[in-house]
Structure 1
Amino acid sequence: MAVMNFSIPRDIVYGEGSMEKLATLKGKKAALVTGGSSMKKFGFLDQAEKLLQKAGMETIIIDGVEPNPSVLTVKRGAAEMNAFNPDWIVAIGGGSALDAAKIMWCFYEHPKLSFEDIIEPGSMPALRNKAKFVAIPSTSGTASEITAFSVITDTENHIKYPIVAGDMVPDLAILDPALPAKMPPHITANTGMDVMAHAVEAVASTAASCFTDPYAMEAIKLVLANLETAFKSGNDMEARYNMHNASCLAGMAFTNASLGLVHSLAHKIGGEFGVTHGLANAIMLPYIIDFNRKFTDKYSMVEKNIGIKDLAEALRGLNKALGIPSCFKDCKEVDFNEEKFLDVLDRMSKNAHGDPCTLTNPGAPTVADVKAIYEASYYGKSMK
C-alpha cells in the first residue's frame, strides 16, 4: 500500500462579513494584488485596503492582472513587491489574480529565479522568508485560495503551465459570499462549472482516497443543488454561500488528489484560443466522463450517493440550463475557427497529454485518445 499525503489549508474564515479578518493581521506593509476593474467597481478593493490600514499597515495596490495571467505580469508584480518590501501579500479577485499573486510571491522571495526554474513539480523553493499570503476569492470557482496550484500563461508559446507547490497554499483564505454575489450570470456559470470539474476529477483521480472523496462528493452535491439558483438569482445569499463553500471543498479534494484530462485539455485549448478556463472545463466534462467510464467505477459511486442515473447527462442538463454550449464549434465566446482548430490539433493534443494533470487520469490515456476527445468536444460527437 502506497504512502500518501493529505494537506489542508492553514486557516479558513468564511461567511458574510469575514473580510473584517484583515483588520486583525499583524504587520507593517501589505501588497494588494487584483485584476482591478470589478474589485474597484464594487468597493471591495477599497474595503480591503482600509481594513489593512486599520491593522496599522502601509499598503500598495498591484492591479491589472489579466484573465490568463502571463509570465510578464507576475514578473512586473514581483518587481513592485521588491521595491515595497511587504510582509503580507493579499490577493483579492478571481482565480487569475490569486494565481498571479502566488507566483509574484515566489519571485519576490527569490528574485534570481527564472520562470523555467519553477514549472517542474517539486522545484519551488521555500516561501515565507519575507511575507505571508492571504487569498480572498471573488468567484466561486478556482479554489486558488486554498490550493497548491497556480496556472500561468506563456504568451509567446501559447501554453498554460500549471505550477504545483505545497508552500503556495495561502496562510489565510477569506470566503466572504458578498464578493461572488456581484458576479454576472455568465461568470457565475463558468466558475461554478469549474468547481464541478474540480470535484468530479478529484473523485476519479488515480490519487483519490478516503480522505479526498468526502470533500469532492459534498462539493458535487452543493453545485448540483445551488449553481442554477446562483446563476438565475445572483443575490440569493444562501446559494452564493453554498457555492463559495463548494469551491473551497472541491479545492481541498483536488489539491490532494490532483485532477485529470478535463483540466489537461482545458489548459491547452485555453492557451491556443483564449477560451475561459471554466467554460472549457464545462464543455469538456461530459465527454471525458463518458471516455473514462471504462476505466473507473467512481462515477457510479457518485451517482449512487447522490441519487442520479447518469452524471454526464446530469451535467449536460446543467450546462444547458446555464447557457453553456454543448461543443466548442458552437461556442461564441472566442473564434473557434475550424481551420485553426485542425491546424493546432496535433500539437495541442501532444501538449495536453504532457500536462501534469494527465498523470492522475484513470486508464493511462494516449495522445490519440486526447485527440479523439478534442475532436468529439469540438464537433459534438459521442464518446460512449
Structure 2
Amino acid sequence: MNDFTQAQELLRQFKGDAYAFGDGALAHTGALTAPLGKRAGLIRPSHPGSDVIVDAVVASLEGSGVAIVGVLRGVRPNAPREDLFRLSGELQALDLDVIVAIGGGSTIDAAKAAEVLRTLGGTIDDCFGTGEVTAALAATGKTLTPLVAVQTAASSGAHLTKYSNITDLTTGQKKLIVDDAIVPAAAVFQYDVTYTMPASLTADGALDGHSHALEVLYGAVGKPGYARIKTVATEAIRLIVQNLETAIREPTNARARTALGLATDLGGYAIMLGGTNGGHLTSFSLVDVLTHGRACAILNPYYTVFFAPAVEDPLRTVGEIYKKAGLTDANLDRLAGRDLGLAVAEAMLNLSRRVGVPTTLSEVEGFTDAHITRALAAAKNPQLKMKLENMPVPLTADMVDESMGAVLQAAKTGDLSLVKSVH
C-alpha cells in the first residue's frame, strides 16, 4: 500500500464517477460534461501558463461533442461582489445549458453564485446563509444550470463542495452561501497543474485545506459521524504536514504535489461532512490584509488552545502527526486539556514558521485593532451563525466579545496565555 491509497479510496467513496482526479484527469472533462449539456459557457483563468490547461479542457469538451458558446474571464481573489455581478450578467447573455469553470477556489465560488443570480434574480444578500438557495428554487420551481468545476489549485476544495465565499471589498467582509444546490455536478483536478503555483500560494492553499480538516474535526467531537470525519480529516492533515515543505522546496515534486492535491480534496470532503468554525469565521474579516489560508493558519493555533479541554481525542491524533514530522518533542501522552492544546498549538506554529507564514496578526502589514472589532461584530451576524454553532463548545452572540476577544488578542500578540480555554 502506498501513502495515497487511503486518500484515493476516500475520494472515490465521496464522489464516485462524478470526479476525475490525478494523472490525465483533464482529458475526462468532456466525458463528464456531455451528459449534462451540449452548449457550454466556459469561465477561464488568465494567469501565466493557464492556456495549456484551457486548451486541454476545450479539446476534451469538443471531442465529446460539447460546443463552447462563450468564453468568460474568471474573477479576482476572494470573489469580489463586483466580479460576481459581471460574471452573472455575462452568463445571462449566453445560450448555454452547462457551465464549465476553470480556476481556483475564487473563480469556482463565483461561478456557483453567478449561476444562482442568473437563474433566481434578486440580490446576492438573499442567498447568504444555509439553505437559502434551495428554498428559493423550491418556491419558484426553477433549477440551476449544471456546473462542471475544473480545479487548478490545491486549496479550498471548492470544486467538491456546497460553499461559495463572496467578498464585499468596501467593507472588507466575506460572507458565505452554504447550500447543497450549488455543489458542482461534476469536477476535475489534475494535480500536476499545480506545479506552477508559487511557494506562497502553495503554503496558503495547503494550510486552507489543513484548516478545513482541523476545524471540522474539532467541531465533530461527540457527534454522530465523528469516526468517519476523523478518518478523512486526519488523513488530510497527515498528507499536508508530511509534504508541504517538500512541495515548497521542490515545486515539481510529483509525490508532494499529489499529496497536497489529495489532502486539500479531503479537506473539501471534510467540510461536506461537518462545518468549519473559529479560524474560518475570523478569517472572513481579514480579507483586506491576508489570504484566506494564511489567515486560518495564523488563527487556528490560538483557537486550538481555546477548544483544548473539549477536543482531547483529536488533539492526541493530530499531535502525533506533528511529532512524527519533527515539529514537537512534547510527551503528548503525559499531557491533557489545556496543556495538550498548548503543545499542539506550538507544533502548528512551528510548521507555519518553516513554510514562511506569520504566526501573529501583528506581523501582518495593514492589520489594526479595527480588524478585531470587525471580526467580533461579524461573529454576531446571523448569516454567519453556523460558524458559532460548529464550535466544539457552541458559542452564542453574547459570548463572542469575551471568549473570541481573548483568542484574537492572543493571536495579535502571540501570547497563548491570554486564551481562556473552554470548560
Which 5+ residue runs of structure 2 have no aligned equivalent?
1-12, 324-331, 333-342
In structure 1, distance between residues paired with 2:302 and 2:322: 21
1:1-384 → structure 2 map (5 Å cutoff): 8-9=14-15, 11-24=18-31, 25-26=33-34, 27-38=37-48, 40=50, 43-59=52-68, 60-110=70-120, 112-125=121-134, 126=137, 129=143, 131-206=145-220, 209-270=226-287, 273-303=288-318, 306=321, 308=323, 309=332, 310-331=343-364, 334-336=365-367, 341-354=368-381, 355=384, 356-365=386-395, 366-367=399-400, 368-383=402-417
Paired residue type of 1:52: L
In structure 2, distance between residues paired with 1:254 and 1:130: 22
CA shift in 2, pair 1:44/1:203, >3 Å: same
CA shift in 2, pair 1:155/1:22, >3 Å: same
Report the aligned-residue RMSD: 2.2
Conserved 8 A contact 2:286-2:371: no
| 1:329 match: secondary structure | helix
Conserved 8 A contact 2:172-2:286: no
CA shift in 2, pair 1:156/1:304, >3 Å: closer
Conserved 8 A contact 1:196-1:219: yes
In structure 1, distance between residues paired with 2:319 and 2:293: 26
Paired residue type of 2:409: E
* 1:237-270 deviation digits (Å, cap 9, x = unpaired): 1111111011111211122210110100111122
In structure 2, distance between residues paired with 1:322 and 1:105: 37
Matched residue, 1:4? none
Paired residue type of 2:257: R
Paired residue type of 1:369: S
Deviation for aligned residue 1:348: 2.4
In structure 1, distance between residues paired with 2:74 and 2:133: 25
Tell me which stretches of 4 or more aligned residues in structure 1 moved more than 4 Å.
Answer: none
* 1:311-354 deviation digits (Å, cap 9, x = unpaired): 322211211110111112213xx422xxxx22343232121344
Paired residue type of 1:101: A
Paired residue type of 1:335: G
Which 5+ residue runs of structure 1 have no aligned equivalent?
1-6
Paired residue type of 1:233: E
Conserved 8 A contact 2:237-2:318: no
CA shift in 2, pair 1:28/1:130, >3 Å: farther
In structure 1, distance between residues paired with 2:43 and 2:109: 10
* 1:145-168 deviation digits (Å, cap 9, x = unpaired): 111111001223332101100121
CA shift in 2, pair 1:117/1:9, >3 Å: farther
Paired residue type of 1:201: E
Conserved 8 A contact 1:99-1:149: yes
| 1:139 match: secondary structure | coil
So what's the TM-score if we normalise by structure 2? 0.81
In structure 1, distance between residues paired with 2:292 and 2:321: 26
Conserved 8 A contact 1:209-1:257: no
Conserved 8 A contact 1:212-1:254: no
CA shift in 2, pair 1:158/1:300, >3 Å: closer
CA shift in 2, pair 1:357/1:38, >3 Å: farther
So what's the TM-score if we normalise by structure 1? 0.89
In structure 1, distance between residues paired with 2:201 and 2:319: 30
Identical-residue share of aligned pairs (%): 25
Deviation for aligned residue 1:36: 2.2
Deviation for aligned residue 1:204: 0.4
In structure 1, distance between residues paired with 2:144 and 2:387: 31
Conserved 8 A contact 2:239-2:260: yes
In structure 1, distance between residues paired with 2:169 and 2:322: 44
Deviation for aligned residue 1:304: 6.5
User: How many residues are treated as equivalent by the alignment?
Assistant: 368
In structure 2, distance between residues paired with 1:304 and 1:313: 10
Conserved 8 A contact 2:362-2:412: yes
